[in-house]
Amino acid sequence: MIDLTGLYTRPAQTWGALRLVPLVRPKPIRDLRLSPLVYGDDEPSVVTLPDKTLYIAYIPHAFVASWTGDGTPAAAYGTQFEQRPAQAVPIRFRRMARRIDTNRLRFLPLHLALEGYLALHFGGPAIAWEEWTRYAVTRGLSPRAEAAYRGELIPDLEEALRVFEIHPGQCGLLLYAGDTLAAAFVVPHPEDYRILHPTLIHDLYGELVYQYARLYPARDWPLTIDETRLVSLTHLRNEVARLEREWAEFHDTVMAADLLRSPHHEQVVHRMGRYTLRRFLPSFERHRENHIGELITDESGHLAYLKTFRLSESQTRRGHLLTTLAYHDWHLPATALGISVEELGRRLERAGFGYLLRAEILGAYRKGSSRSV
């Protein structure tokens, strides 16, 4: 589970349908720093993965992690934040995470997490059951594609980030759309956050976030002060402190519970001295929030960096289907617990995996659907 120990919630700010909740770190991390590397043109990038498959996506910027091996303060090294006009639209080849030198690592924020989601059981059926095509057995889920929205397309996000008041010591932000958690962002140091705050407009956001930002306004949470306790300014300060504690407790136990309390599966991406860069996948439970993301923790498990992506219902459904199929060795009768094999086949088709099933098998499933109607 994700542990926000050392980070404290401050009063939220709202703009339209968006609620921005600052996270403050009283004791910043000094031996790990993050800085942006902005590519600045709308070019597609191709990343060659270790198994020789290709990951193609719009990649607007990278982060550079700098650390020290002896715990001494590290500097935010080599910040580049500029726009460069593109003369053409080339395709550039990059790696998800690449060591620049001994104590510097360049990685692609969110794309680490998205690669992990797209690679979920990418190899396809491990056993050539009769329902699967030869293509499914030999090539798996290639190609595998998912859609996301750039931050510029999320209503009110650019304006909200522009007018957002950055708190002293702020090292993170929880972004809500229609009072559902859209994204989490945490960095080691307040100076890193001030530099990286504008990059949130270039990030990727899920379909559900886009819809909620358009349709559902942020609610007002009534906070009342007991006037009978107000005898002096000291009592007023105590009441304000109480309201802040109650808001933080409500936020951590209710509003962000699905991200902070849900189990997830982690994969180590790179080790950086006493820090480790990982990405994680959710449990793909239906009818609840599911987030993918990446994080950096120290040897004690304390969080230094976090960035998440909220999956839509359809993306959660695809992840759930693939995970359940893999658990049952891609055997349809064993997977179809509680439903018919025909219904499972139709669900696979609706999820975009119909090309994995043999044509005559899929046709029979469709006929079964029409007969039931």
pLDDT at 269: 93
Q: What is each CA distance from 63 to 109, 172, 192, 271, 285, in whole angstroms?
A: 7, 15, 11, 16, 31
Give the C-alpha separation, 147 to 277, whole Å.
25
The pLDDT of residue 40 is above 60:
no
> 204, 220, 190: which is closest to 8 by C-alpha?
190
For residue 216, give the amino acid letter. Y
* Confidence band, pLDDT 50/70/90 cuts, at residue 100: confident
| Phi and psi angles of residue 40, each rounded to the nearest 5 degrees, phi first | 80, 15
Helices and strands (H and E) in the chain: how many: 11, 18
Give the model's pLDDT for residue 75: 58
Average pLDDT taken over every residue of the chain: 84
Name residue, tokens 């307040």: 190
Domain map of the chain by residue range? 8-132+145-312, 315-372
Average pLDDT for 93-102: 73
> Nearest CA to 351 among 296, 294, 298, 313?
313
Residue 96: what pLDDT? 75
pLDDT, tens digit, for every residue of 133-182? 999 999 899 888 888 999 999 999 999 999 999 999 999 999 999 888 99
Query: How high is the pLDDT of residue 142?
Result: 84
Place of tokens 């009769």: 130
Q: Which two tokens stand for residue 87?
A: 């003369």
| Distance, CA of 251 to CA of 36 (rounded, Å) | 29
Dihedral angle at the C-alpha atoms of 250, 202, 311, 209, nearest 10 degrees?
A: 60
Per-residue DSSP letters for 67-121? E-SSS------S-B------SS---EEE-SEEEEETTEEEE-TTHHHHHHHHTTT
Residues 202-224 pLDDT 10s? 899 999 899 999 988 777 666 67
Instruction: Give, for 307, the enclosing helix (H) or strand (E).
Output: strand 303-310
